Amino acid sequence: MSAIVAIVGRPNVGKSTLFNRLIKRREAIVDAVSGVTRDRHYGKSDWNGREFSVIDTGGYVKGSDDVFEAEIDKQVELAIDEADVIIFMVDVETGVTGMDEDVAKLLRKVKKPVLLAVNKVDNNKRAEDAVEFYSLGLGDYFTIASTNGSGTGDLLDALVEVLPEKEPNRDDELPRFAVVGRPNAGKSSFINALIGEDRYIVTDVAGTTRDSIDTKYNRFGFEFNLVDTAGIRRKSKVREDLEFYSVMRSVRAIEHSDVCIIILDATRGFDGQVQNIFWLAQRNNKGIVILVNKWDLVEDKETNTIKHYTQKIKEAMEPFTDVPIVFMSVLAKQRIFKAIETAVQVYENRSRKIQTRKFNDVMLPLIENYPPPAYKGKFVKIKFCTQLPTPYPQFAFFCNLPQYVRDPYKRFLENKLRENFDFTGVPISVFMRKK
């Protein structure tokens, strides 16, 4: 489980550029137009052996300046609630603005570590100008230039110093199943139906669940914690930021879980927001089950409706399509226990360990019949393979030239693994190692 770091600040101070640098990938779109970051921005980073998750809150808001200010306040409040450490970014070119002062006012009340990063400091003159940021009352600051990375090392050193201590290993704890999805898809109703009591208030207003709540649950002789994350607080009625709130809420629940039960509304489909949550779970190597709720509301069903619907979801999930999809109706209590039974099965798949000898007996003949393609006239020979001792399925294949094995061949190995051993609902990692 990694700590969560949120990057906050007014538009166009360089939050996305810093985010890209931290996660070492160009995931956020960087553009000089303020407020370009539309997508949710979440990634993994590590420094000095400490792993943490980074959330870029940039540009989830559009509209006039006054709307901007209200929205940025909301984002900062949410980051204060959800994150463990906050990086507050300001821009030396424009100096201290009214909006910076508003954000600083919110951050001064916080009991969590706040690191003030003054961006665009790429010469001595600007380093001198940065002194004015002491006026924000947040103590010392870090001067950085997120475009070329100068100063980010010192910022990260300070960041890992203040990260919360790692939590002890949860081996003795019960497995955790997180119920996630966009607002109003039926997450709370699903948990109510399972436990047979109205533990959660269920209303038609999207986003009435404020926090994720754990419920111990026992069925099929299997005990686990159900985590409800119905992701959004009431105050966020603005369209643009719905996604930001639900993702921010889901991140922690997903990271803390073993299996993610993603509930979607059949009448809305596997839309962008649900896909974001799916990829979040996949990137965190969690078990995944997709529940299509409100199936009773879909009109004009024909013999192949389920088949076509499933096909559309699988196309959107490519290349990771080995995921169970259960069609249900919480209201009519149709197939809700099937949903949990499937989640238990996925949990078992994620914990599956294959004996090395059996693994080699199955995989080596397949590799011999279909070896990796030669690269630059060189032939790759895979001699041995084994499952790594990690909490989720990772496999190492030992060969003479690991650098010449391309992604398509790794996908071939993953497909063969899935054909021969049951890893439905679980992301798999395949590594090539030098023999």
Q: Pick the last residue of a domain from 304, 330, 351.
A: 351
Specify whether 347 is located in the same domain as 366: no
pLDDT at 425: 94
Distance CA 183, CA 186 (A): 8
Let me know whether 340 and 362 are in one domain. Answer: no
CB 295 within 8 A of CB 330: no
Q: Is 186 annotated as a binding residue?
A: yes
155 and 203 belong to one structural domain: no
185 is in an annotated binding site: yes
Boundary-marking domain end, from 301, 319, 351: 351
Specify the pLDDT at position 3: 82
Give me the pLDDT at residue 109, please. 87
One domain for residues 244 and 258 = yes
Q: Was 342 annotated as part of a binding site?
A: no
Tell me the C-alpha distance between 76 and 78, whole Å.
Answer: 5
Q: What is the pLDDT of residues 170-215, one digit of tens each?
A: 444 778 888 888 777 888 788 878 776 555 444 444 444 444 556 7
- Rg of the chain taking only CA atoms, in angstroms: 24
Residue 31 labeled ligand binder: no
Flag whether 215 is in a domain.
yes
Residue 12 marked in a binding site = yes
Helices (H) and strands (E) in the chain, counts: 12, 15
Q: 148: how many CB neighbours lie within 10 A of its CB?
A: 11
The answer to whether residue 12 is domain-embedded is: yes
In a domain, 208, yes or no: yes
Asked if residue 335 belongs to a domain, the reply is yes
Residue 170 located in a structural domain: no
**One domain for residues 196 and 283:** yes
Look at the block and give the residue holding tokens 């639900």. Answer: 246
The answer to whether 304 is a known ligand-binding residue is: no
216-253: pLDDT as tens digits: 777 656 777 877 765 433 334 434 444 555 566 677 77
Q: Where in 132-210 does DSSP place strands (E)?
A: 141-143, 176-180
- Rounded (5°) CA angle 9-11-15: 60
User: Based on the domain organization, do 102 and 211 belong to the same domain?
Assistant: no
Token output for 385: 């393979």
CATH of the domain at 133: 3.40.50.300
CA–CA separation, 293 and 194 (whole Å) = 14
**Nearest CA-CA partner of 274 in 333, 345, 186:** 186
Q: Any known ligand binding at 293? A: yes
Domain boundary among 351, 366, 383: 351
Whole-Å CA distances, 317 to 105, 277, 279, 392, 415: 42, 11, 8, 20, 15
Residue with tokens 């196309």: 315
Is 406 part of a structural domain of the chain?
A: yes
Q: Residues 91, 134: one domain?
A: yes
DSSP category for residue 319: T
At 252, which helix (H) or strand (E)? Answer: helix 242-255
Q: Give the separation between CA 85 and CA 169, rounded to whole angstroms.
A: 22
Q: Are 386 and 290 found together in one domain?
A: no
Specify the pTM. Answer: 0.65
57 appears as a binding residue in the annotation: yes
What pLDDT score was predicted for residue 70?
Answer: 65
State how far the Cα of 158 lies from the Cα of 150, in Å rounded to an integer: 15
Q: Is 300 annotated as a binding residue?
A: no
List CB contacts of 56: < 8 A, sequence separation 6 or more.
7, 15, 16, 18, 19, 28, 37, 41, 42
Range of the domain at 419: 356-434
Tell me whether residue 231 is annotated as binding: yes
Same domain (yes/no): 195, 332 = yes
pLDDT of residue 197: 57
Whether 11 and 66 map to the same domain: the answer is yes
Residues 320 and 364 in one domain: no
Count of structural domains, the chain: 3
Asked if 131 and 197 sit in the same domain, the reply is no
- pLDDT block averages, 10 residues each, the chain of length 435: 81 84 59 40 78 71 53 69 87 88 87 91 87 90 88 91 70 76 80 66 45 63 72 39 58 83 90 82 91 84 82 89 91 86 92 93 92 87 91 92 88 93 92 87
DSSP conformation letters of 400-413: S-GGG--HHHHHHH
In a domain, 167, yes or no: no
47 belongs to an annotated ligand binding site: no
Q: Is residue 171 part of a domain?
A: no
